[in-house]
Amino acid sequence: MINFVMPDLYPASAEIFMLIMACTVLLVDLFSGGRRWLTYLLTQLTLAGCFAITLFTLDGQVVTTFSNMFIDDLLADFLKLMLYPAVAIALVYSRSYLAARNLDKGEFHLLVLFATLGMMVMISASHFVSLYLGLELLALSMYALVAIDRDSVRATEAAMKYFVLGAMASGMLLYGMSMVYGATGSLELFDIGQRIALGGGNKTVLVFGLVFIVAGIAFKLGVVPFHMWVPDVYHGAPTAVTLLLGSAPKLAAFAFALRILFSGLGELAQHWQLMLMILATLSIALGNLAAIAQTNLKRMLAYSAISHMGFMLLGLLAGVVGGDSRFALNAYSSSMFYVIAYVLMSLGAFGMIMLLSRAGFEAENIEDFKGLNKRSPWFAAIMMILMFSMAGMPFFVGFFAKFAVLQAVVFAGHVWLAVFAVLFSLVGAFYYLRVVKVMYFDAPTDLAPLEAPRDMRILLSINGLAVALLGLLPQGLLEYSIITTYAYLIGG
């Protein structure tokens, strides 16, 4: 006789609410008679509800449920509280863009909610099965979103590339997980970590599985040499989808990588550190060099994303030195601060592209920003702040994010790696400054006033000012990142 133990649903209340509301949005859209504003409003209310539930249930305790497959800790709560506003901002920026192209359909909002649910599961997963479930829920939703403009050949081609390469990466990840399971006899991350620490499992099989797992993580992050899909998908997808793809999932990918590599495979750090070092150096070098040659802003930001994810990996690889994890707090909190800062900058940059776009016109080329200062000095200044911050110039949040990661790398003893990253950051500054030069020193080719809803204008202004303000006062976000990381390390 099988004894079924009812799992504690309280830690997963935000995920349950999200799932119920996603089904509600589906039904409401079906019977709303084409009232798209209702679907949009319900989607935003769902995200607000999830934010409130996560905030209400936040108590700092580490609770596991669903047979230890799901964990509710401070790391999960903090990243989710960053995730909901990121998705909500992306929806505000996207609304007029989608409406102008007749893409503001119920399925768009439904897929966004399911993608968000996948990210929430990834952030709270403590088991290979739940990690993979969250990852695939996110991936399948994103494949469909990239191809949502069915009349666009470019979008369909991008979705096909993304799907085929994504399926290969998922296969590699799953194969790596099966190898680790075969060696340790467990799928639970903390249990795997303990068994490896006690000398359990065949070391050769574990390292072999680790290679496939790191390859799968590298694809999801879009780092070299698993970056081939990034520029094509960023360019081919509707900008509203590129905005979502290039921002919120980075938070989930960070949690995904941290939980697998540190909680589950921390005892194999000497092996995965070397792999991450190779991935990070290649990504920072190729990302910055390839971005210089781009004339399309979306492709430039795609290669820029590859470089930024390389920086994030620098933080992850600096956490353990010679088997000693006393550097973990500094390194992982710096990496978390970096990924949050990048999401904020990415939202603003793609939001600016959609601000300049209108029906029948995609402002995705750098030359489309010519003379923006004459058309709108305020939004030219916002874009300048975003570009300066992405370049890592003082005193914007991007500078402190890079500085935090680099000092963690230096403390870990990888001085040459920090010097390498700084040199290529200087190279990367060129293509960001080129956008600023075009806005301020080139004659405008289009003198039409910028047309955008008031909520988008206000939010985009706040977004840009937040990048500047967090650069002047980064202590608050950095302290929260440190507290969250400390709680995770103590709990783990």
What pLDDT, on the 0 to 100 scale, is given for residue 3?
66
Nearest Cα residue to 244 out of 360, 103, 92: 92
Nearest Cα residue to 403 out of 418, 387, 420: 418
CB-CB contact of 315 with 331 (8 Å): yes
Does residue 277 register a pLDDT over 70? Answer: yes
Per-residue pLDDT reduced to its tens digit, 326-369: 788 999 999 999 999 999 999 999 999 999 887 667 888 899 89
CB hemisphere CA count around 429 (13 angstroms): 13
Any idea which residue has 């206000």 for tokens?
458
Amino acid letter for position 483: I
Per this entry, what is the length of the chain? 492
Per-residue pLDDT reduced to its tens digit, 47-67: 999 999 999 988 878 888 888
- Give the rounded percent of residues in the chain with a pLDDT score beyond 70: 98
Residues 242 and 98: their CA atoms lie apart, in Å, by 12
Q: What is the mean pLDDT of the chain?
A: 90
Residue 263 carries which DSSP code? I
User: Largest Cα–Cα distance in the chain?
Assistant: 78
Nearest Cα residue to 370 out of 443, 450, 296, 448: 443
